[in-house]
Amino acid sequence: MHKTARLLETVTLLALIALASNACSSGGGSDAKDSTVAATVNGKTIMLAEVERALNQQAGGKQSQYSQLELAQARLQILSSLVQREVLFQRAEREKVLPTEDQITALINQQKQQSGMTDDDFQKSLTEQNLTMESLRAEARKDIAIKSLQDKFSSKITVNDKEVEEFYNANRQQFVSARGAALAVIIVDPA
């Protein structure tokens, strides 16, 4: 457990350095981002372009409204999430809980149907998000595999009422909210 935490700390630190050096460099267009490795998880690389694409999706293209520090924090959080996702996917591969092509297609069709998009609108949406059908299928594959992994292990977990009660009694302070009030200042400019 400590090795995993230490590895995650190291990967996060290296990623922060990579992101910071990339943000500080004056040159480096999109080609530099496409070829820059943000992190490596058991031999599988996570590219800076993946982090940037996720940031664009999360920020809705409004990154100019955020400070450099906020953007760096968001990139680091996204990278951490991508690393955790890759670790879970690799575990799903080892546990052999990978989805079939039919399951992947069904998930994509379900998402299309829920969004109410036509095929042309869906393709346009993919293009706007810098995604291809191949990359979307890869993401769907990971989503299904991770969900299957979680289902596999969560089905083995059983908690009875006695255990819940014992935990509650041993940790009552965690479930008590102290009395208090929150104070906020509201300033109205009459001009």
Non-local CB neighbours of 10 within 8 Å, separated by 6+ positions = none
Say which range, 2-6, 21-25, 78-82, 116-120, has the weakest mean pLDDT: 21-25
Which pLDDT band, with edges at 50, 70 and 90, does 164 fall under? Answer: very high
Q: 139 and 73, same structural domain?
A: no
The pTM of this model reads 0.66
146 belongs to a structural domain: yes
Query: What does the H/E/C string look like for the chain?
Result: CHHHHHHHHHHHHHHHHHHHHHHHCCCCCHHHHHHCEEEEECCEEEEHHHHHHHHHHHHCCCHHHCCHHHHHHHHHHHHHHHHHHHHHHHHHHHCCCCCCHHHHHHHHHHHHHHHCCCHHHHHHHHHHCCCCHHHHHHHHHHHHHHHHHHHHHHCCCCCCHHHHHHHHHHCHHHHCCCCCCCCCCCCCCCC
Please give the pLDDT value at position 191: 66
Q: Which of 79, 94, 109 is the last residue of a domain?
A: 94
Q: 74 and 44, same structural domain?
A: yes
Structural domain including 42 reads: 1-94
Domain count, the chain: 2
Q: Which of 46, 65, 94 is the last residue of a domain?
A: 94
Average pLDDT over residues 33-38: 80
169 belongs to a structural domain: no
* pLDDT over 60 (residue 15): no
* pLDDT over 90 (residue 178): no
How large a percentage of the chain has pLDDT more than 70?
81
Q: 16 and 71, same structural domain?
A: yes
151 belongs to a structural domain: yes
Q: 83 and 66, same structural domain?
A: yes
More reliable by pLDDT, 100 or 184 = 100
Q: What is the pLDDT of residues 64-94, one digit of tens each?
A: 788 888 888 999 999 999 999 999 999 999 9
- For the record, the structure tokens of 46 come out as 């996570």
Q: 83 and 43, same structural domain?
A: yes
Average pLDDT over residues 113-141: 88
Q: 81 and 22, same structural domain?
A: yes
Q: What is the pLDDT of residues 40-54, one digit of tens each?
A: 999 999 999 899 988
172 belongs to a structural domain: no
Q: 66 and 123, same structural domain?
A: no
- Side chain identity, residue 126: L
Q: 25 and 70, same structural domain?
A: yes
Q: 3 and 15, same structural domain?
A: yes
